[in-house]
């Protein structure tokens, strides 16, 4: 009875969130943190609805699921009032901050480091992560912040808004979450669009080093001098660096991790040759200019609650060492996360959670051939298990398409598919023009 009462309490009212160019609709939906017990602490889910521009000819609503894990879906509300307004032609766009992110009891790690110190420190300092865990535990039971629970939350939002079937969109972790929602609530799924496909059976971050090395090798083929420049740069590390009056020490693992993250977008990947050329001479200023002061986009508390339970502690350290040997990145990232996960409260998951997802809904997959974190082979493997899927490979695409020319092609494909185009008849020729 209480769950039913909660669903009735999602009342929307006009609002103008930060970054929005127009007034939209906002509301809160209360759910139990422990959904199985249906008692105890509750979470107010932050919901933003951007109404369809043509309400008389509406089709299924469009739910975007954020990546990370740990990003807030509502962070992109401004895009749907400007650049992505076409997605609202005939659909409400619904953004729900997943439990543990944004306005939904965010599990954010406070870090008072200076900008340079934050850019130079190891990825997950154990003392900082312990403080993050302990602070989060004061307002959350970290065992109840997993993908299956979050996708049941999402279905509560769907029901409270009165929708029957919905369209789902997710990139990176968002692709995994979308597939989990479809497995748990198949009767409410109309169509699915996913990119940077992350299977439920993947063991993150086991693949990070090998996938990033593959992306680098593709860059080496285009710019042969780059390999030698990066080799030379690594020989200068660790190095004392100074940036905007502040000094610190840059280590080889941290340098490599920054390069790996720059590979995510074509927009930032194309800065790597200039960074490598300078670093080969011992000048790390171009790298620091790219990474210092970049605000965190992920709630680390949620990131660990999900990945520790669903991914990282399933990794065999010996396997990690074998798969990362010979890469620029080594097993640094795996070791960093396993160390934190060893002390993080761990959730219980359904026994079949890691089985291949099989759903009847049509699925459009957009895969970057140069993806440095979710290998294109993953998308191909997932597509084989889906009866109605099409995997479109963007040859010069990375993990996220920002920075590709003719980005309109991406939107044309997605909107054409959501408008009802048959997967087999979808014209994908424009992907060959993306540079």
Give DSSP secondary structure letters for 268-288. HHTTHHHHHHHHTTT--HHHH
pLDDT-based confidence at residue 296 (cuts at 50, 70, 90): confident
**Rounded Cα distance, 211 and 107, in Å:** 28
Of 7-11, 26-30, 162-166, 325-329, minimum mean pLDDT range = 7-11
Burial of residue 345 (CB within 10 Å: 0-12, 13-18, 19+) is middle
Count of all residues that appear for the chain in the document: 435
Domains of the chain: which residue ranges? 2-105+142-201+355-433, 113-139+204-351
* pLDDT for 430: 96
- Our CA angle for 319, 325, 326, nearest 5°, is 155
What CA dihedral angle connects 315, 318, 320 and 325, to 10 degrees?
A: 180
Could you tell me the pTM of the whole model? 0.96
* pLDDT for 294: 87
**Rounded Cα distance, 63 and 73, in Å:** 9
**Rounded Cα distance, 213 and 329, in Å:** 8
**Rounded Cα distance, 260 and 415, in Å:** 31
CATH fold label, 2-105+142-201+355-433 = Rossmann fold (3.40.50)
Q: What is the phi/psi pair of residue 33, to 5°?
A: -65, -50
pLDDT-based confidence at residue 295 (cuts at 50, 70, 90): confident
Pairing of β 189-195 and β 166-171: parallel
**Mind listing the pLDDT tens digit for each residue in 234-291?**
999 999 999 999 999 999 999 999 999 999 999 999 999 999 999 999 999 999 999 9
**Mind listing the pLDDT tens digit for each residue in 173-197?**
999 999 999 999 999 999 999 999 9
Helix, strand, coil distribution of the chain in percent, nearest 5: 45, 15, 40
Reduce the DSSP state of residue 160 to 3 states and report it.
helix
């Amino acid at each position: 009875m209480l769950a039913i009462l909660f669903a009735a309490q999602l009342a929307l009212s006009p609002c103008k969130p930060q970054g929005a160019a127009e007034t939209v609709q906002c509301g809160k939906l209360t759910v139990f943190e422990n959904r199985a017990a249906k008692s105890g602490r509750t979470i107010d889910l932050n919901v933003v609805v951007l109404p369809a521009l043509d309400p008389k000819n509406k089709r299924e609503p469009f739910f975007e699921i954020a990546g990370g894990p740990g990003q807030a879906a509502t962070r992109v509300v401004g895009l749907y009032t400007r650049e992505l307004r076409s997605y609202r032609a005939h659909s409400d766009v619904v953004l729900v901050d997943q439990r543990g992110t944004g306005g939904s009891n965010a599990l954010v790690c406070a870090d008072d480091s200076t900008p340079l110190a934050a850019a130079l420190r190891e990825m997950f300092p154990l003392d900082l992560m312990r403080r993050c865990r302990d602070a989060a535990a004061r307002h959350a039971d970290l065992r109840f912040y997993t993908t299956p629970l979050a996708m049941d939350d999402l279905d509560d939002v769907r029901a409270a808004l009165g929708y029957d079937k919905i369209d789902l969109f997710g990139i990176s972790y968002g692709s995994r979450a979308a597939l989990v929602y479809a497995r748990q609530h198949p009767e409410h799924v109309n169509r699915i669009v996913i990119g940077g496909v992350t299977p439920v059976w993947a063991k993150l971050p086991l693949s990070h080093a090998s996938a990033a090395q593959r992306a680098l090798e593709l860059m080496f083929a285009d710019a042969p001098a780059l390999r030698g420049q990066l080799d030379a740069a690594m020989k200068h590390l660790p190095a004392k660096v100074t940036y905007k009056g502040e000094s610190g020490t840059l280590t080889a693992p941290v340098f490599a991790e920054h390069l790996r993250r720059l590979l995510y977008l074509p927009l930032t990947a194309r800065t790597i040759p200039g960074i490598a050329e300078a670093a080969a001479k011992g000048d790390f200023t171009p790298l620091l200019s790219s990474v210092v002061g970049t605000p965190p986009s992920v709630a680390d508390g949620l990131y660990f609650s999900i990945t520790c339970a669903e991914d990282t502690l399933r990794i065999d350290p010996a396997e990690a060492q074998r798969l990362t040997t010979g890469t620029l990145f080594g097993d640094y990232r795996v070791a960093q996360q396993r160390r934190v996960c060893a002390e993080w409260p761990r959730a219980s998951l359904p026994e079949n959670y890691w089985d291949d997802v099989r759903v009847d809904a049509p699925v459009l997959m957009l895969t970057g051939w140069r993806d440095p974190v979710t290998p294109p082979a993953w998308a191909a493997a997932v597509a084989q298990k889906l009866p109605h899927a099409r995997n479109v490979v963007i040859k010069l695409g990375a993990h996220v398409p920002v920075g590709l020319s003719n980005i309109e092609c991406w939107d044309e494909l997605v909107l054409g598919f959501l408008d009802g185009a048959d997967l087999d008849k979808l014209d994908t020729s424009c992907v060959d023009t993306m540079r």
